[in-house]
Amino acid sequence: MDYTRGDRHYGPDFIQLHRPCERGSCYCSVEFKVISSKENAKEFADYVTSFEHGRVPVVYDVYLSQEGRFLGERFVRVGDWTSDRFHVNDRLLRVGVRFKPSHAGQKMSAVLSTANCFPTQQP
């Protein structure tokens, strides 16, 4: 994943990890809002920014039904930082979309699912 460091509200050590979805025109992100106010915020921010842009190693467990349908995901770690070092809210995967209408009044829609953040699984 790629990273953005700093935020006017959350401070200079706020980290957001993000990447385009595997499918669709959405993006996947994880925002580390809680840790940005903790004593180890700078340590975590420095760790994440030590990676090249687009190369931050993030691991999720992905759960599939017996039919291969996406059921959910669980945050495991960012590099060497395991999930137990983060508040539960900092482990949430978000999916968003940026609409770019080509004319005024244009209607657009999107189906958003964290399933779009992971490669399609073959049964």
In a domain, 74, yes or no: yes
Is residue 104 in some structural domain?
Answer: no
Mean pLDDT of 92-103: 85
Q: Tell me, yes or no, if the pTM score tops 0.95.
A: no
pLDDT of residue 122: 53
Report how far apart, in Å, the C-alpha atoms of 82 and of each of 33, 39, 59, 60, 92 are: 16, 17, 9, 11, 14
Question: Which residue segment(s) compose the domain that 72 sits in?
Answer: 2-99+109-116
- Residues 28-78 have pLDDT tens digits of 999 999 999 999 999 999 999 999 999 999 999 999 999 988 999 999 999
Report pLDDT for 65: 92
Characterize the bridge pairing of strands 26-32 and 11-20.
antiparallel
Contact criterion met (CB below 8 Å) for 60 and 115: no
Q: Domain for residue 94, yes or no?
A: yes
Judge contact between 23 and 116, C-beta under 8 A.
yes
Q: How many domains does the chain have?
A: 1
Would residue 69 count as lying in a domain? yes
Query: Which pLDDT does position 123 carry in this prediction?
Result: 47
In a domain, 34, yes or no: yes
Q: Is residue 121 part of a domain?
A: no
In a domain, residue 122? The reply is no
